[in-house]
Amino acid sequence: MIKLNTVFTLAAASVLAVVHVLSLQFFLYWHYLWLDIPMHALGGAVVALAIFVPYDFGAPLPKRWLQPLSVLLMVLLVALSWEVYEIMIGIPFGEDYAADTVSDLAAALLGGIVGFIVAKRFNELSTTP
């Protein structure tokens, strides 16, 4: 049986992917500069939710991987990797790149917190009779 967390993770990842592709195709990131922030938050939530998916399928994950600090560190690692990717493909522009990076990382961590809370709640719901 597929767990609620897995379905929610796939749905959130699909929304993230579709909005990202459309945003690139129609230059929405450059037209609506604020769009970057909710996308980073959604990305952080998807990463946090996805960490729990193997657990949903019975994978023997170490319990420490599902603790708040571990999940947020993994979210931060993915967010930092994305920022490096943005630099490598030449997305940074303007004088406030450092401020943009900090706000992107903060948004990803905030999304990660929300994703962690949602995943833990789904986990509790699926284990109660």
Domain with 96 in it: 4-127
Across the range 37-44, mean pLDDT stands at: 98
Instruction: Note whether 119 and 52 are within 8 A (CB).
Output: yes
For the cut 80, the answer to whether the pLDDT of residue 80 exceeds it is yes
Predicted local confidence at residue 93, as pLDDT? 63
Domain count, the chain: 1
- Residue 92: its pLDDT value, please? 66
CA–CA separation, 84 and 89 (whole Å): 9
User: Which ranges constitute the DSSP H helices of the chain?
Assistant: 4-25, 28-31, 36-51, 53-56, 68-88, 97-127
The b-or-e profile of 29-43 (16+ CB within 10 A means b, else e) is eeeeeeebbebbbbb
The set of residues, in sequence order, having a beta carbon less than 8 Å from that of 123 and lying 6+ positions away, is 5, 52, 55
Q: Residue 24 has what pLDDT?
A: 94
pLDDT score of 77 more than 80? yes
pLDDT band at 129 (very low <50, low <70, confident <90, very high): low
pLDDT band at 87 (very low <50, low <70, confident <90, very high): confident
Instruction: Report residue 121: phi and psi, to 5°.
Output: -65, -45
Quick one: DSSP state of residue 94?
S
pLDDT of residue 127: 72
